[in-house]
Amino acid sequence: MTASSGPLRILHVFRAPLGGLFRHVLDVAHGQIERGHEVGIFCDASTGGARAEAALAELAPALALGMHRVPMRRLPHPSDLSALSALGALYRRARPHVLHAHGSKGGVYARVLTIPGLGRHTIRAYTPHGGSFNYHPGSGSHRLYMAIERLLERRTDAFLFESDYIRDRFETFVGRSSKLVRVIRNGIAEEEFTPLERASDPFDLVYLGELREAKGVDTLIDALAIIRQRQGRAPTLLAVGSGPSEEALRRRAAEAGVVDAITFEPPQPIRPALARACIMVIPSKAESLPYVILEAAAAAQPLVSTDVGGIPEIFGPYGAELIRPDDPAVLATAIAAKMAEPEETRMEKARALSDQVRQGFRIDTMVERGIEGYREALAARGI
């Protein structure tokens, strides 16, 4: 039996067990194990916190190829050499059929790895999850990372993009690849469509995500200040998350005169947080195909979102609701309009988007199409 038809040995390689990338790997790994494949994980040992530790500990007993964590830096660093050495030692022991790289750092490690005979036994798949493709075109960082992506394209057997948006960015700035290319969108589970039990005294708004520049929380803070100027009252906001911009955002809220309207809380499960607010706001300046929108839409949470990245792919026929990014006045107007809608109108729109997500973004489809991509790439290589 060839690898392209029998059970597979799959090693997922990524850096930080955080955010949507981490959720994607967990979902894919669980689905692959349920279908009889042997799976392993190689990731950073220094990030993730208690929630990641708990999720990895739950998964670890089912990982036939093991759980392997070593220190990794986000940016290039001499310690990358020791991490790459550890990945090489793991490869020799596990002999996977598939090295599946996730994110920029995982994409470098899995594709730079050089082991005699690797190409005869293993394919390398790559899912960017935004990563280097989210840098602003024309910037020095963008030019550097696109040059690296062009070099690494030669060492990739399957590109499993999570959105049309990232595939299009790849083709624009790297070029069309002769290797296997598939768009396999993120998926969520049926239980995530269960209606929320709303809090009795909810916040007006909720933001869930990282606290960093690309997520646009600064724009949201400025929008709250504009609403206060226009209406005499700022909507209350529950801001759930952590990240490098947290202290700067707290200072910005104070300077904008809306610190009293914002409650900052650390990362927590999404559904209880959604239930504590009437409307979720996604003010992002850059995204790929964010899980947080899929999860909120599935739960029929009313949304105000910017029109960036793969978000229009989620909204589909309801994309006219999206607004341009990085514009506090436009965001303020959209928030005020959504808050002014009759509740039944607001919920009717939310339920329609939930139905849209149920039709197009399912975990089973994501897992099965990924395995099909592996098999096609393996067959093309005669493995």
pLDDT at 74 (0 to 100): 87
Number of domains the chain is built from:
2
On whether residue 71 sits in a domain, the answer given is: yes
The tokens describing 254, both together, are 């104070």
Q: Are residues 99 and 198 in the same domain?
A: no
For residue 3, pLDDT beyond 90: no
Residue 74 inside a domain? The answer is yes
Name the band, by pLDDT with cuts 50, 70 and 90, for residue 131: confident
Same domain, 173 and 209: no
Quick one: 153 and 208 in the same domain? no
Indicate whether 2 belongs to any domain. Answer: no
Q: Which pLDDT tens digit goes with each residue over 270-315?
A: 999 999 999 999 999 999 999 999 999 999 999 999 999 999 999 9
Read off the pLDDT band of 50 (50, 70, 90). confident
Residue 3 placed within a domain: no
Residues 88 and 133 in one domain: yes
Question: Are the CB atoms for 188 and 298 separated by under 8 Å?
Answer: yes
How far apart are the C-alpha atoms of 73 and 294, rounded to whole Å?
29
Domain of 234 in residue numbering reads as 191-360
In a domain? residue 179: yes
Q: How far is CA 7 from CA 3, 33, 36, 38, 210, in A?
A: 7, 10, 6, 7, 37
Residues 261 and 311 in one domain: yes
Tokens of 60: 């670890």
* Cβ atoms of 157 and 381 closer than 8 Å: yes
- Residue 55, pLDDT > 90, answer yes
Asked if 42 and 13 count as a contact pair (C-beta separation under 8 A), the reply is yes
| Cβ neighbourhood burial of 269 (10 Å; 0-12, 13-18, 19+) | exposed
| Percentage of the residues of the chain whose pLDDT score is greater than 90 | 91
pLDDT at 159: 98
Q: Say if residue 180 is in the same domain as residue 117.
A: yes
Which residue in 292, 371, 281 sits closest to 335, CA to CA? 281
Residue 163 lies in a domain: yes
1 belongs to a structural domain: no
Q: Are residues 35 and 169 in the same domain?
A: yes
- Read off the pLDDT of residues 345-359 as tens digits, 9 standing for 90 and up: 999 999 999 999 999
Is residue 383 within 8 A of residue 121, CB to CB? The reply is yes
Both 221 and 148 in one domain: the answer is: no
Q: What is the phi/psi pair of residue 12, to 5°?
A: -90, 130
Q: What tens digit of pLDDT does each residue of 139-193 get?
A: 999 999 999 999 999 999 999 999 999 999 999 999 999 999 999 999 999 999 9
For the cut 80, the answer to whether the pLDDT of residue 2 exceeds it is no
Question: 110 with 88: CB under 8 angstroms?
Answer: no
Q: Judge if 151 and 213 occupy the same domain.
A: no
pLDDT at 183: 97
The Cα 383–Cα 247 span in angstroms is 51
Based on the fold, state whether residues 180 and 267 are members of the same structural domain: no
What is the per-residue pLDDT for 134?
Answer: 85
Does 77 lie in the same domain as 15? yes
In a domain, 4, yes or no: no
CATH code, domain carrying 132 = 3.40.50.2000
In this structure, are 269 and 342 located in the same domain? yes
